């Protein structure tokens, strides 16, 4: 597609529920990133893929967070047993390769109640 597509746009989850957030990067983009943006804050890095390989997951806040990109295109960010502090906008970004700039999707706003 023309841009980075994320779904759903909004998700309300009850505390303890599992959620899955999807990212469709720009076709052909090798690098894919997930960021978490809390209200009033800048985006914070969660994890990074180069093709299907997860090269850096140092930003994942706990073992409840898991990301995958099995075929090197679409990626899913899964959060198990959601907590209120997980409420944030989750942004996905892709780039053709290192140093070429990043295109962000519109994000998924997750609200845990």
Partner 1 sequence: EDKVVQSPLSLVVHEGDTVTLNCSYEVTNFRSLLWYKQEKKAPTFLFMLTSSGIEKKSGRLSSILDKKELFSILNITATQTGDSAIYLCAVEGDTDKLIFGTGTRLQVFP
* Token representation of residue 58: 């140092």
> Residues 15, 16, 55, 61: which binds partner 1 (CB under 8 A)?
55
Task: Report the alpha-carbon distance of residue 20 to residue 27 in Å, rounded.
Answer: 21
**How far is Cα 51 from Cα 81, in angstroms, rounded to an integer?**
28
Using left for φ > 0, alpha for ψ between -120 and 50, and beta otherwise, residue 55 falls in alpha
| Piece of the chain touching partner 1 by CB under 8 A; list 13-21, 47-55, 66-74, 79-87 | 47-55
The interface region with partner 1, picked from 11-19, 36-44, 61-69, 70-78 by CB under 8 A, is 36-44
Interaction site with partner 1 (CB under 8 A):
31, 33, 35, 40-45, 48, 50, 55-56, 59, 89, 91, 98-99, 101-107, 109
């Amino acid at each position: 597609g023309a841009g980075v597509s994320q779904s759903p746009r909004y998700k309300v989850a009850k505390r303890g529920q599992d959620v899955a957030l999807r990212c469709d990067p720009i076709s052909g983009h090798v690098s894919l990133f997930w960021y978490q943006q809390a209200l009033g804050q800048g985006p914070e890095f969660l994890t990074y893929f180069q093709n299907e390989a997860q090269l850096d997951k140092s930003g994942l806040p706990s073992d409840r967070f898991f990301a995958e990109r099995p075929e090197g295109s679409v990626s899913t960010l899964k959060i198990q047993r959601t907590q209120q502090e997980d409420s944030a906008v989750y942004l996905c970004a892709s780039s053709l390769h290192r140093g070429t700039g990043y295109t962000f999707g519109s994000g998924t706003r997750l609200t845990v109640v």
